[in-house]
Amino acid sequence: MTSNPPSLRIGNRSIVTKRGTEPAVFRLRAAFICGLIVVLLAGVKLVDIQVINAEAYAETGVRQRVRTVELPATRGRIYDRDGEVLATSVDAATIYADPRAFRASSTASGIALPAAADAAAVAASLSELLDMEANDLEERLRRDAHFVYLGRQLPFEVGEAVQALRIPGIGVLTEPKRVYPGSTLAAQVLGFTGIDGEGLQGLEQRFDTVLVGEPGSLVMERALGGLEIPSGTRELIPATVGTDVVLTIDRQIQHAAEVAANEAMERHNASGAGVVVLEVASGDVLAMASTPGFDANNRSLFDGDTYRNRAATDMFEPGSVQKVFTLAAAIEEGLVSESTLMDTPQAVTIYDKRFGEIYRREEKEFTLTEILAGSSNVGTIMVAQDLGADRLDKYLRDFGFGVSTNSGFPGEAAGMLAPRNAWSGTSLPTIAIGQGIAVTLLQLASGFATIANDGMAVQPKIVRGTVGNDGRLAPVSQTPSRRVLSPRTSRQVRHMLEDAVTGDLATGGNARIDGYRVGGKTGTARKPNHNVGGYSSKYVATFVGMAPIDNPRFVVAVMVDEPKPAYYGGAVAAPVFREVMETALISRRVPAEAAGQDLQRALVDAQRLNRKHRETQTALVATALDN
Amino acid sequence: MSAVFRFASRRTVTQEPTKPYLAVVIDPPKRHVLLFGVTLTALICAVIFGAVTLNALAASAAVDALRLDGHVGDAERLYAQQVADVAALENPGRIREAAFELGLVPAGPARHLVLERNLPVDGAVLVSEQRAANPDPLKPLLSAAS
SS3 sequence of A472-503 = CEEECCCCCCEECCCHHHHHHHHHHHHHHHHC
Does residue A6 have a pLDDT over 80? no
Q: Lowest-pLDDT range, A18-32, A119-133, A501-515, A570-584?
A: A18-32
Cα A513 to Cα B31: distance, rounded to the nearest angstrom? 112
DSSP of A73-94: PPPPPEE-TTS-EEEEEEEEEE
Does residue B100 have a pLDDT over 80? yes
Length of chain B measured in residues:
146
Cα A572 to Cα A186: distance, rounded to the nearest angstrom? 22
Alpha helices in A305-425, H assignment, sequence order: 310-313, 323-332, 368-373, 377-387, 389-399
Does residue A226 have a pLDDT over 70? no
CB contact under 8 A, B92 and A255: yes
Residue A277 and residue A285 in contact, taking contact as beta carbons nearer than 8 Å: yes
Give the mean pLDDT of chain A.
87
**How much is the ipTM here?**
0.76
- Residues A450-461: tens digit of each pLDDT: 999 999 999 999
According to DSSP, the residues that pair with A523 across neighbouring strands are A542
**pLDDT > 70 fraction of chain B, expressed in percent and rounded:** 61
CB contact under 8 A, B80 and A24: no
Is residue A320 part of the annotated active site? The answer reads yes
Q: Lowest-pLDDT range, A290-299, A436-445, A514-523, B102-111?
A: B102-111
User: What pLDDT does B21 receive?
Assistant: 67
| Mean pLDDT, rounded, for B46-73 | 90
Cβ-nearest to B114 among A7, A179, A591? A591
What are the respective helix, strand and coil percentages of chain B, to the nearest 5?
Answer: 60, 0, 35
User: What pLDDT does A394 receive?
Assistant: 95
- Residues A236-261: tens digit of each pLDDT: 888 888 999 999 999 999 999 999 99
- Residues A432-490: tens digit of each pLDDT: 999 889 999 999 999 999 999 999 999 999 999 999 888 889 998 888 889 999 999 99
For residue A75, what pLDDT band results from cuts at 50, 70 and 90? very high
Give A508 or B30, the one with higher predicted confidence. Answer: A508
Question: Rounded to the nearest 5°, which phi and psi values hold at A130?
Answer: -90, -5
B84: three-class secondary structure by DSSP: helix
CB contact under 8 A, A9 and B25: yes
User: What pLDDT does B146 receive?
Assistant: 33
CB contact under 8 A, B13 and A12: no
- Residues A10-25: tens digit of each pLDDT: 555 555 555 555 667 8
Strand A216-221 versus strand A234-237 pairing type: antiparallel
Task: Name every chain B residue with its beta carbon within 8 A of the beta carbon of A90.
Answer: 77, 80-81, 84
A72: three-class secondary structure by DSSP: coil
Give the mean pLDDT of chain B.
74
Cα A322 to Cα A330: distance, rounded to the nearest angstrom? 13
pTM: 0.78
Chosen for mutation from A179, A184, A513, A518 (greatest number of chain B CBs closer than 10 Å) is A179
* CB neighbour burial string for A262-282, b if at least 16 within 10 angstroms, e if fewer: bebbeebebebbbbbbbbbbb
Give A250 or A71, the one with higher predicted confidence. Answer: A250
The dihedral through the CA atoms of B129, B135, B136, B142 has a sign that is negative
User: How close, in Å, is residue B119 to chain A by CA atoms?
Assistant: 12
Does residue B128 have a pLDDT over 90? no
Chosen for mutation from A16, A26, A609 (greatest number of chain B CBs closer than 10 Å) is A16
User: What pLDDT does A354 receive?
Assistant: 85
For residue B65, what pLDDT band results from cuts at 50, 70 and 90? confident
Cβ-nearest to B110 among A74, A586, A607? A586
Cα A137 to Cα A127: distance, rounded to the nearest angstrom? 7
CB neighbourhood size of A493 (10 A) = 28
Residue A102 and residue A116 in contact, taking contact as beta carbons nearer than 8 Å: yes
Cβ-nearest to A582 among B18, B87, B109? B109
User: What pLDDT does A560 receive?
Assistant: 94
Task: Name every chain B residue with its beta carbon within 8 A of the beta carbon of A16.
Answer: 12-15
DSSP of A503-569: STT-S-GGG-BTTB--EEEEEEEEEE-TTTSSEEEEEEEEEEEEESSSS--EEEEEEEES--S---H
- Residues B129-140: tens digit of each pLDDT: 444 555 554 444
Give A366 or A445, the one with higher predicted confidence. Answer: A445
- Residues A528-568: tens digit of each pLDDT: 877 777 778 889 999 999 999 999 999 999 999 999 888 88
| Mean pLDDT, rounded, for A212-230 | 78
Annotated catalytic residue, options A89, A125, A290, A320: A320
User: What pLDDT does B8 receive?
Assistant: 46
Cα A310 to Cα A409: distance, rounded to the nearest angstrom? 12
Element containing residue A375 per DSSP (H, E): none
User: How close, in Å, is residue B70 to chain A by CA atoms?
Assistant: 13
Cβ pairs A/B, distance under 8 A: 163
Residue A357 and residue A378 in contact, taking contact as beta carbons nearer than 8 Å: yes
For residue A598, what pLDDT band results from cuts at 50, 70 and 90? low
For residue B20, what pLDDT band results from cuts at 50, 70 and 90? low
Cβ-nearest to B17 among A11, A182, A251? A11
Does residue A95 have a pLDDT over 80? yes
| Mean pLDDT, rounded, for A15-38 | 76
Cα B76 to Cα A615: distance, rounded to the nearest angstrom? 65
Give A50 or B15, the one with higher predicted confidence. Answer: A50
Chosen for mutation from B112, B114, B129, B143 (greatest number of chain A CBs closer than 10 Å) is B112
User: What pLDDT does B114 receive?
Assistant: 67
Task: Name every chain A residue with its beta carbon within 8 A of the beta carbon of B136.
Answer: none
Does residue B4 have a pLDDT over 70? no
Cα A290 to Cα B131: distance, rounded to the nearest angstrom? 52
- Residues A266-306: tens digit of each pLDDT: 999 999 999 999 999 999 999 999 999 999 998 888 988 88
Task: Name every chain A residue with its beta carbon within 8 A of the beta carbon of B63.
Answer: 230
For residue A494, what pLDDT band results from cuts at 50, 70 and 90? very high
